[in-house]
A = this chain, B = another copy of it.
Amino acid sequence: MNYRPSVRVVDATLRDGGLVNDFRFSDEFVDALYKTNIAAGVDYMEFGYKADKTMFDVNSFGKWKFCDDDDIRAVVGDKNNDLKVAVMADAGRCNYKQDIQERSNSPIDLIRVATYIHQMPTAIQMIEDAKKKGYEVSCNIMAVSTAQESDVQTALDMLGQSPVDCVYIVDSYGSLYPEQIQRLAEFYKNATEKYGKVLGIHAHNNQQLAFANTIEAVADGVDWLDATYGSMGRGAGNCSMELLLGFLKNPKYDLLPVLKFIETYTAKLKDEGVVWGYDLQYMITGLLNQHPRTAIAFTKDKRIDFSNFYNETVNHE
């Protein structure tokens, strides 16, 4: 019945959810989401990516792929509240030196650097740059379920010695079971606790375990918890905000505004044909520890021959 005051809830709806609608959210949606996060006591709201405009065509995506400071400012105004603003910066896909301003000139509070293991040196430079500019900084090491343990150890050592504030356990493929989350949390903690880093978790719902893995991580001492409204996110989606706030006992969190938002805005997205959430094709790629791209294509083609997809996917290994 008790709660841990160090827990932080991070709303990743616009960022991970943006991956299923090319970030084309209406201004009304974003505005309502911001107000809802404040009302619900959510700690951070991730607005999207700081993607490099020389790599991605601005006409092919909504504005939250790029998160111009002015676009964020139009939503958050003077920020007279406790909700902090986050954006994600992908290693190798963000022109961070130019596109990330000094924090004192920006509405952003937290830079979330996302990296694959092999890009760690780039990620460290991005972390140092963001820290120097005054931001809180977290780092997502993606796809650890396919990485060698010794490489993860090296990455964690690098992060430990970097100025990053929080290191995320990321189940990119939705392939991990709670007992594996427990082991990873211990592994991450052993490597980073001595440097004073906190841990975070970002889960995917391929095997209907995003929420279960997130609350397992809470029990293992992980503090920063990613969730999305209605579990909106790539493929099978993420840990549901509504499940997470229902579970957390910190009185600052309030489920009711979240339910109101979902019935008003998330339901409408689904009605408009935006598709995400648990389904067998995502279960299959999760089970086989593969990137969901084949399952996303299967979904796009409106296929339901799951048994053929399973055979294709197994035989492709």
CB-nearest residue of chain B to A311: B256
**A263, B304: Cβ atoms closer than 8 Å:** yes
CB distance from A287 to the nearest CB of B (A): 4
1/0 per residue A167-191: CB within 8 Å of B? 0000000000111000000000000
CB distance from A233 to the nearest CB of B (A): 14
Count of chain copies:
2
Partner of A262, one of B179, B255, B260, B280: B280
**A219, B179: Cβ atoms closer than 8 Å:** yes
**A306, B207: Cβ atoms closer than 8 Å:** no
Q: Does A37 contact B (CB under 8 A)?
A: no
Stretch at the interface among A17-25, A58-66, A134-142, A210-218: A210-218
**B304, A243: Cβ atoms closer than 8 Å:** no
1/0 per residue A250-266: CB within 8 Å of B? 00000110011011000
Contacting B at CB under 8 A, from A258-317, are: 259-260, 262-263, 267, 280, 283, 287, 304-307, 310-311
**A283, B246: Cβ atoms closer than 8 Å:** yes
CA distance A306 to B259 in the complex (A): 6
CA distance A178 to B181 in the complex (A): 14
Q: Inside 8 A of A215's CB, which chain B residues have their CB?
A: 177-178
Partner of A280, one of B177, B210, B212, B242: B242
**A209, B212: Cβ atoms closer than 8 Å:** yes
**A305, B212: Cβ atoms closer than 8 Å:** no
CB-nearest residue of chain B to A287: B246
| A255-B310 contact given A211-B207, A212-B209, CB 8 Å threshold | yes
CA distance A242 to B278 in the complex (A): 12
CB-nearest residue of chain B to A213: B212
Q: Inside 8 A of A205's CB, which chain B residues have their CB?
A: 208
Partner of A216, one of B178, B243, B263: B178
| A259-B280 contact given A208-B212, A304-B267, CB 8 Å threshold | yes
CB distance from A185 to the nearest CB of B (A): 15
**B307, A260: Cβ atoms closer than 8 Å:** yes
| A306-B262 contact given A207-B211, A209-B212, A215-B177, CB 8 Å threshold | yes
Closest 5 CB pairs of A and B: A212-B212, A259-B307, A260-B307, A259-B306, A246-B287
Binding site for B on A (CB under 8 A): 177-179, 205, 207-212, 215-216, 219, 240, 242-243, 246-247, 255-256, 259-260, 262-263, 267, 280, 283, 287, 304-307, 310-311
A-B contact pairs, 15 of them (CB 8 A): A177-B215, A178-B178, A178-B212, A178-B215, A207-B247, A208-B211, A208-B240, A211-B212, A212-B212, A242-B280, A260-B306, A263-B304, A263-B305, A263-B306, A267-B304
Given A177-B215, A260-B307, A263-B306, 14 new contacts (CB under 8 A): A177-B247, A178-B212, A178-B215, A178-B216, A179-B219, A205-B208, A207-B246, A208-B212, A208-B243, A209-B211, A242-B283, A262-B306, A263-B304, A263-B307
